[in-house]
Copies of this chain bind each other. A is one copy, B any other.
Amino acid sequence: MNPFPIENLPFGVFCPATGGDPRIGVAFGDGVLDVRAAVGAALFPGSAPTLAAALSAPVLNPLMALGRPAWREARGRIGEILLAGKAPLLPLRGVRMLLPATIGDYTDFYSSREHATNVGIMFRGVENALMPNWRWLPVGYHGRASSIVVSGTGFRRPSGQLCPDETLPPVFGPSRLLDFELEVGFFVGPGNPLGEPIPIERAEEHIFGLVLVNDWSARDIQKWEYQPLGPFLGKSFATSISPWVVPLDALEPFRCAGPVQEPEPLPYLRAPVPGAFDIELGVDLDAAGESGPVTVCRSNFRHLYWSMAQQIAHHTVNGCNLRPGDLLASGTISGPTPDSYGSLLEITWRGTKPIRLPSGAERKFLADGDRITMSGSCARDGLRLGFGEVTGRVLPAGADPAS
């Protein structure tokens, strides 16, 4: 199915195939509306100058800053333009997609109970799988914004310190345990001034839209570095996102209840409405040397224990300011069954259960040349829409800078 029907209308930033500078687009079917050109063609009569200026910007940040009433006005008018055939569309396949926003800060949560439990079992045993704080708050950490790349960008296998045997000194070399993490992220809308928390009742006003996120991870670099301050170089070499930002309004028909939360969260984390969304997620591995991709995971965004609204309320409760264009990601979204685990670490259970590929080859972790493609889609009562995909390929490690 085509992921971009009239009910979706995701925003992105692109350059035309023929060249030209970045501008905002909206995907519709197999085409892209050049929004800046539409503004220039006077197709937004009566819109406020701030909205017209935001729609003509080279990134989505100004539009994100305007808030939901402006987003709805733009979305409504764009729908009319498209249905009336008032503007020519560029072929979707021909445009070059860029990051949709300047990402000031990137926060990565750890909001899937199944993922946190699986990792906890592997590293701390069944008895201590979930840390005591996990059921009380959406655990998260600051990620690296500079290395977020748009779908299609290859990246070099990271090198770093590895210490497989901690009775011996560490060694330097390319990561041997390279992994993907299936996540969904959202872009922040207006945000809040420093010192003024966003109450959970108003949290969703600050969700502009959602993207797929592949939080590539080097498990061996991470394992050696992460105590006591958390993940750093094990994650900061690349994080891939899908280029089309699906508006929260488009996902409204797929809103549903998330997992039961027990114990009941503290008052600042109690939301007035269900905050989960039924989004089917998939991960395909197109392994080097194989004839085509194989599906290695089918999960669902609704498995997420902590909702986006709870993440926002928690993130800002200490006064931390969110800004338009900040990206907040879910953490790996694993489901309850092994075929729904969202990382190779879990799928192969730390390499003890390798994936058998059609050729007979195996994968415990990613090999050079492997490509990972994640997809997301929603279906209900005949309505179908999707995210498209986020894809990326592992390139060989670079040279040792010290040699």
**Is B230 within 8 A of A267, CB to CB?**
no
**Is B267 within 8 A of A403, CB to CB?**
yes
Partner of A267, one of B172, B218, B234: B172
Determine whether A266 belongs to the interface, using a CB cutoff of 8 Å to chain B. yes
Partner of A268, one of B141, B226, B326, B401: B401
Interface string of A128-172 (1 = CB under 8 A from B): 000111001101111111110100000110111101001001101
**Is B156 within 8 A of A229, CB to CB?**
no
Given A142-B144, A146-B321, A313-B401, 14 further pairs, Cβ under 8 A: A105-B144, A131-B228, A133-B227, A139-B225, A146-B322, A146-B323, A147-B194, A155-B195, A199-B401, A200-B402, A229-B230, A233-B317, A238-B319, A268-B401
Complex CA distance for A169 and B264, rounded to whole angstroms: 11
Residues of B within 8 A of A238 (CB): 194, 319
A-B contact pairs, 22 of them (CB 8 A): A105-B144, A133-B161, A136-B161, A136-B170, A142-B236, A146-B320, A155-B194, A155-B195, A156-B319, A159-B319, A169-B263, A170-B266, A172-B266, A195-B237, A196-B398, A197-B401, A200-B401, A229-B230, A233-B315, A236-B318, A237-B320, A267-B400
Partner of A326, one of B146, B166, B230: B146
Determine whether A221 belongs to the interface, using a CB cutoff of 8 Å to chain B. yes
**Is B227 within 8 A of A229, CB to CB?**
no
**A180 smallest CB distance to B (angstroms):** 16
Complex CA distance for A332 and B74, rounded to whole angstroms: 48
Interface string of A219-250 (1 = CB under 8 A from B): 00100111111111110111000000000000
**Is B139 within 8 A of A194, CB to CB?**
no
Complex CA distance for A137 and B229, rounded to whole angstroms: 13
- CB-nearest residue of chain B relative to A316? B401
**Is B225 within 8 A of A137, CB to CB?**
yes
**Is B268 within 8 A of A237, CB to CB?**
no
> Number of residues in A with C-beta < 8 Å to the partner?
74
Complex CA distance for A96 and B233, rounded to whole angstroms: 37
* Residues of chain A whose beta carbon lies under 8 Å from any beta carbon of chain B: 104-105, 110, 131-133, 136-137, 139-147, 149, 155-156, 158-161, 163, 166, 169-170, 172, 194-200, 218, 221, 224-234, 236-238, 263, 266-268, 270, 313-315, 317-323, 326, 395, 398, 400-403
**A390 smallest CB distance to B (angstroms):** 17
**A319 smallest CB distance to B (angstroms):** 5
Residues of B within 8 A of A395 (CB): 195
Residues of B within 8 A of A194 (CB): 146-147, 149, 155, 237-238
Interface centre among A198, A238, A401 (most CB of B within 10 A): A401
**A43 smallest CB distance to B (angstroms):** 33
